[in-house]
A and B are shown apart, each in its own frame.
Chain A
Amino acid sequence: DAGVTQSPTHLIKTRGQHVTLRCSPISGHKSVSWYQQVLGQGPQFIFQYYEKEERGRGNFPDRFSARQFPNYSSELNVNALLLGDSALYLCASSLAASTSNQPQHFGDGTRLSIL
């Protein structure tokens, strides 16, 4: 069975541009979460979506937005890119949202570099 898939694997942008990152969850998983991982640190929570609705948001500016589609795939959008947005962006999926303790399974991420 396929795990969480993310595209693209690598991306180079310049300051001020915008970017869209894509994620397909594990088949049957309805919850998708996005994390940012800066080199040398653990992942930081950005968003959680469940059944196409935002269920949680981390401490990130409004330049970050996301959505979930009827097939449970998700997009993360970042506008007005800054140098500090350079990071590995991870998508994780789980069966449910917050009512049960289910492990989140991660994709291999999109490495975003801002020049």
Chain B
Amino acid sequence: GESVGLHLPTLSVQEGDNSIINCAYSNSASDYFIWYKQESGKGPQFIIDIRSNMDKRQGQRVTVLLNKTVKHLSLQIAATQPGDSAVYFCAEKKAGNMLTFGGGTRLMVKP
């Protein structure tokens, strides 16, 4: 498959550990945020979203935290598995339905 993100920041974790991926967003008026996972040769896959009136949302093995004061978003993955290895993007919704994506973080899980 084709590699996505050849020069991205990389987070390397041991299988079974928890992972935290961070993202700074740009617009204080953004009201909706999404985390996507992108594997090599594929399109971004929706993981979890959060509205600006919330500061935490949990899914299956994932938690998103939103700090509007410092415009910071994080994705926590519990008990990281080899299948979690991918590039992770945060995206913010500004005007209309347009998403603005961050630069991405590559997560590598060591068995």
Contacts and interface: CB of A to CB of B under 8 A. Distances in A.
Nearest to B46: A103
A98 B97 CA distance: 5
Contacts of B104: 41-42
B96 A101 contact: no
Contact of A43 (B32, B42, B97, B101): B101
Place the interface of chain B in its size category.
20 to 34
Given A90-B43, A111-B2, A101 B93 contact: yes
A40 interface: yes
A73 interface: no
Contacts of A107: 43
Contacts of B89: 42-43
A22 to B, nearest CB: 15
